[in-house]
Chain A
Amino acid sequence: MKMAPRRAARPRAGGSTYDIAVIGAGVTGAAIARRLSAYKVSVVLLEKECDVSFGVSKANSGIIHGGFHYSAATTLKGRLEVLGNLMFDRLQKELHFPFRRCGILVAAFSVEEMKTVQELYSRGMENQIIGLELAGRDRILALEPKLNPDVVGGLYAPGGGVIEPYRFVFSLIENAQANGVELRTGFRVAEARREAGAGDRSASSRWALVSQQGEQIRARTVINAAGLYADEVSRLFGAEEFRIVPRKGEEFLLDRNARGLPEKVIFPVPDPRSKGILVIPTVEGTCMLGPTAFEQEDKEDLSTSRENFETIFAAARRLVPTLSERDIITSFAGLRPSVEGQDFLIAVSEKAPGLVQAAGIQSPGLTAAPAIADYVKDLVKKTGLALEEKADWNPSLPLVPRVRELSPFEADDLVRENPAYGEIVCRCESISEAEIVAAIRRGHTTMDGIKFYTRAQMGRCQGGFCTYKILKILQRETGMSLDQVTKRGGASRLLHGEVGRDPVAPGGGRTKLEAEA
C-alpha cells in the first residue's frame, strides 16, 4: 500500500477558508489545535517545516515541572505551569504518550543554597503545590541515593515528572486531526492580508494567509504560536512589535545501560538567569544532561561546542558523581523562544483584529501547554468567535502497540495479527517494521520524523544498523528514490546517488570534463 499524500492537493485559486488558523505545530500550537477541535469550528494547523514538532519542541528537556520556580500569583507562566501540570494524568490516559511522575529534586550544597531552596519551597506552597517538601541531607539521599553525598538538603516535588515531548506533540495533533483539524506542513506564512467580508461587515472580515510557495488559506481568527518566529509572524499581521531572543540550550544524552543513573530529575539551586544544568532520567530510560543557557541572535544556529561539553559534565557530576562521559550517545542543542520580561506573551492582539498571540513560550511551556490551550480557547471567544461544543468530540486515541513495551508472549500475539511486528528494524530501541510503516503512513517521511515518531535511530548505535533498513522501507512505502530521502526536509539530503552514475576518472575524483563543467 502506498501512503496517502501528505499534503492536500494544491488548493484551487482562492484557497480554503477556516474559522481558525493556528500558526506553528510545536507543542503550543498542537495543544491549542487539539483543544479547539472540541468545538464546532473549522481549524487548520500550519507548519513551515516538513513535519510537526521540528522546531523548539523537538529539543526540549522533557520535564513536567513541579510548580515552584515561578509565582502563580504574579506571572502568567507560573499560573499556567501549575494548572498544566495537573492536566497530564488525564491527557496520558487519553493519548498514551510516555509520561511518568518520577519526582523532582533541587539539591543544595551549602547553607546559602538552602536559603534559596527555602524560597522555592515558600513559592511552591503559595502556588498550592501538592506534596512539596523540604528535605534534609538524609531524607534527600534516601529519595535519590545517586546524589552527591556532599548535598546538604533540598526540595522534593513528587508531582514533577518526565515526558517524551515529541510524542506528546504527535499525539495531540493526531487527536486533533481525528476530530477534524487539518494539518498543512511545509506552509511558511509569508504574507497576511486583511480581507473585508461580504457587505463590509467586520464580523465576517477575515485574514488571507499566503505561504512562501503562493498557497493561500483564509481564516477569521489566527493564533500565532510560531515559536522562535512569533515576532516575525506578528509583524506580518501589523500586530505588536516584540523581539524573540533565542536562548540556546545544549544537552547530552546517556545510554540507558549506563551505570549510576538517578531515578528522579535533579536540579541545582537556580540562579537568576536559568534553572541551571540538570540531570534528567528520561521517561524512555536514557538520561539527559543539560541544558546550558546562552542568548544568541541566530534562530537557526543549533551547533554545540567543546567548552559547553566540559561545563555540562562538570555541573552534572556535581549533582551525580557517577555519571560518565563514556556513556554519551549523542548531544544536541535547542533554542528557547524568550521575549523581553521573560513571561509568556499570550493575549488578543490590540492592533490586529482576530489575532491571538501565544508567544515567548519558553520553559515551562511544555508543562503549561494544556493550560495555555485552555487559556487561548477563552481568548478566541473574545475575538468574537462563538465556540459551541461538539457532541461527538473524541478526546482519545486508540492505544498503538509497541514491541518494546510488550513481553515476548504479548509480542507473539501481535505478530500473528501483523507479521511486520516480528521484523525488528532498530535493535537498540526494539522498534519493529510495523511501527516504522505506521510512522510513514502518518506522514513522517524524513529520517528525523521517523526517529522522533518511533525512536528508531535514537539508541546507542544512532542509526548505524537501522538506517539502511529504514531507507528501504521508506522507498517501498512512498515510492521515493533513495537520493530523495532527507534527514529533516529541505536540503538535508542523505545520499548522493547510485554507484556508477557519475563518470569516474582513473584513481578516483571527478573526471576532467566534469571538473571543467
Chain B
Amino acid sequence: MTERRYDTVVLGGGSAGLAAALEVAERGYSVAVLEREHELGGILNQCIHNGFGLHRFEEDLTGPEYAERFIERVESHPGIELFLDTTALEAGVDGTPVVYGYSRRHGILQIRSKAVVLAMGCRERNRGNIGIPGTRPAGVYTAGLAQRLINIDGIVPGRRAVVVGSGDIGLIMARRLSWVGTEVLGVVEIQPYPSGLTRNIVQCLNDFAIPLHLSHVVAEIYGKDRVEGVRVAPVQDGRPDEARSFRLDCDTILLSVGLIPDNEISKKMGVELNPETGGAIVDAGRMSSVPGVFACGNVLHVHDLVDWVTEEAETCGASVASYLEGTYSQVQRQVVPGANVKYVVPNRYFPEAENRLYLRSLVVKNQAELVVTLNGEQVKRRRLAHVQPSEMVSLTLGPDDLPPAAGAQEPRLEVSIR
C-alpha cells in the first residue's frame, strides 16, 4: 500500500473542494485533492446552462466555465497534488485523520494529514425516498442523472416526460429536454410554491409553456417494462385527492425532489451531523465535531447558488490554514435558528471577527424581516423583500453588531425571520 502525508486532504474536486484547496495551498500548506471522476469540476461539468458566477465574478458563466476558473489555478499550483479517478472509500481518525483512496492507478493510497476538508457534495433523493406507488418500469430517472446522460454522454432518456418536483435541476432539465426534442408534459410539485429559484420558473417553464402543477403529487406510476404514464392528483388535507386525479401519458419520469448531503465518509470519521441539514455540525471556521475535520459546500448544507459554495469554501480553507498554523480561534459563541428559520450554518460564530451566516426560511413571505437577537435583545435587523424555503438567505455579522458579552452565562444569539 502506498502511503502519503499532506498537511490537508480535500475530499472532492468540485466547486467546494477546488476553492478550499486553493485557499489552503496559497497559505503555503501541502494539499491533496481526491476526486472520484476523471475530471475536476464536479457537478458543474454537466451544468452547461448559464447563470453561474453572477455574484462571484459579476459575469454570466456556464457551469464548466465557472469550474474552469478554479481548475486552471488548482492544476498549476505547486502545493496541490491531484488524485483523479480516486474514490475515498474508507476513512478514520487514528491520532490524525487517515483516508484510504481507491484507484486503478495507485491501488489503495493511505493518506495521513493534519486536516481534512469534506467537500463531497450531495446526492439526489430518489423514488424510494419519496415513495411513489405503482409499477417499477424503466424510464424513471433523477434529474441530475438525466442531465449527465444528455449533456455529457449525449443520450436522450425518452420522448415524453413528466418532471416530479420543482427543484432547480428539475426546472433546468424541463427546458433541456424540450431542447433535445423531448416533450415535457408538466412539472408536478407537492408544495403550494415552487422549490426552485424564481428565475428558473420563468426561464425554464414559462418560456416553454410547460405547466406547473403546484400542490399536486404523482399518485401512481404505470407501465410494465417502460413507463407508460403517471396519475397526477391534487393534494387535499395532506393526501392525494383521487377523485380529482388525472393521467399523463409519458415514457419518462424525472425526479427533482431534493438533495441530500453525501456524508458517508464523514460518518466513518465520526463526524456529528445536524439532522436538519444532513450535513456536519460545524463551528465558526467550519470545523466539525472531529478536530481537524472541516466541511464546506453541499456536503455541509445544500446551497442554491455555486457562488455561495465558493464563498463558504474559501472561508473554510482560510480557517484550515489557521488551524495548521496553530492560530485557530477558540473564542466562539453559539448561534441558533429562531422563529421561521429552518437552520443556520455555521452553528457557532467568532465574536471578534466578521462572520458569514447562511440560513433557510421555513416560510414564504413578502416584506419579511431578518431579526438577530442576543439573549433576547435585538442586535440587528434587515428587511427582506421576499423569503421562501428555496432561496438561501445570507447574513454578515461583525463585532460592531454585537455588544460585549456580559456575565458568565453563554450568550444566546438567535436568528429569526418575521
Chain A positions near chain B (C-beta within 8 angstroms): 253, 257, 300-306, 309, 325, 328-332, 403, 408-409, 411-412, 415-416, 419-420, 422-424, 427-428, 430, 432-433, 447, 460-465, 467-468, 471-472, 482-483, 486-488, 490-505, 507-510
Contacts and interface: CB of A to CB of B under 8 A. Distances in A.
Q: Which of B90, B153, B184 has the most CB of A within 10 A?
A: B153
Contacts of B251: 496
Given A427-B87, A464-B144, A497-B156, A508 B177 contact: yes
Interface in B246-265: 251-252, 264
A467 B148 CA distance: 10
Given A411-B108, A423-B103, A462-B128, A504 B180 contact: yes
Contacts of B180: 499-500, 504
Given A427-B89, A491-B226, A416 B107 contact: yes
Given A330-B128, A493-B226, A482 B100 contact: no
Interface residues of B, number: 62
A301 to B, nearest CB: 8
Given A328-B128, A504-B180, 5 more contacts: A304-B133, A424-B36, A463-B145, A468-B149, A504-B181
A499 B127 contact: no
B298 interface: no
B105 A482 contact: no
Contacts, number: 179
Contact of A468 (B124, B126, B148, B184): B148
A508 B179 contact: yes
A460 B131 contact: no
B364 interface: no
Q: Which of A422, A501, A504, A509 has the most CB of B within 10 A?
A: A422
Contacts of A486: 138, 225
Given A411-B108, A492-B226, A304 B179 contact: no
Contacts of A409: 1, 108
B382 to A, nearest CB: 34
A303 B102 contact: no
B134 A304 contact: yes
Q: Top 7 A-B pairs ranked by shortest CB distance?
A: A508-B178, A330-B128, A487-B138, A424-B87, A492-B225, A491-B225, A504-B181
A331 B131 contact: yes
B36 A427 contact: yes
A332 B208 CA distance: 36
B137 to A, nearest CB: 6
A329 B156 contact: no
B109 to A, nearest CB: 9
Nearest to B135: A303
B224 A464 contact: no
A217 B127 CA distance: 42
Interface string B140-156: 00101100111011111
Main secondary structure of the interface of B (DSSP, over half): mixed
B153 A420 contact: no
A461 B107 contact: no
A19 to B, nearest CB: 36
Contact of B107 (A300, A422, A510): A422
Given A257-B264, A422-B107, A430-B89, A303 B123 contact: no
28 contacts: A257-B267, A305-B133, A306-B219, A411-B108, A415-B107, A422-B107, A423-B102, A424-B36, A447-B138, A461-B123, A461-B126, A468-B152, A472-B153, A488-B138, A491-B226, A492-B226, A493-B138, A493-B226, A494-B139, A496-B157, A498-B154, A498-B156, A499-B156, A499-B180, A502-B156, A504-B179, A508-B184, A508-B208
B412 interface: no
B181 A490 contact: no
B100 A408 contact: yes
Nearest to A503: B181
Q: Which of A494, A496, A503 has the most CB of B within 10 A?
A: A496
Interface in B145-201: 145, 148-150, 152-159, 177-184
Contacts of A498: 154-156
Contacts of A471: 153
A296 B100 CA distance: 50
Given A423-B104, A504-B179, A495 B133 contact: no
Interface string B83-116: 0010101100000000010111111101000000
Given A493-B138, A509-B178, A412 B1 contact: yes
Contacts of B153: 468, 471-472, 482
Nearest to B139: A494
Nearest to B240: A306
Q: Which of B1, B157, B240 has the most CB of A within 10 A?
A: B1
Nearest to B227: A492
A190 B267 CA distance: 53
B281 to A, nearest CB: 16
Given A309-B131, A508-B183, A464 B124 contact: yes
A495 B157 CA distance: 4
A462 B133 contact: no
Interface in B231-246: 240
B330 interface: no
A228 B103 CA distance: 44
B136 interface: yes
A464 B100 CA distance: 23
B71 to A, nearest CB: 21
Contacts of A432: 102
A461 B129 CA distance: 9
Contacts of A491: 224-226
B149 A495 contact: yes
Nearest to B179: A508
Nearest to A428: B264
B91 to A, nearest CB: 10
A253 B126 CA distance: 13
A408 B177 contact: no
Nearest to A466: B145
A329 B130 CA distance: 9
A329 B133 contact: no
Contacts of A302: 135-136
A424 B251 CA distance: 31
A424 B157 CA distance: 25
A289 to B, nearest CB: 12
Q: Which of B155, B177, B240 has the most CB of A within 10 A?
A: B155
A508 B137 CA distance: 25
A302 B226 CA distance: 13
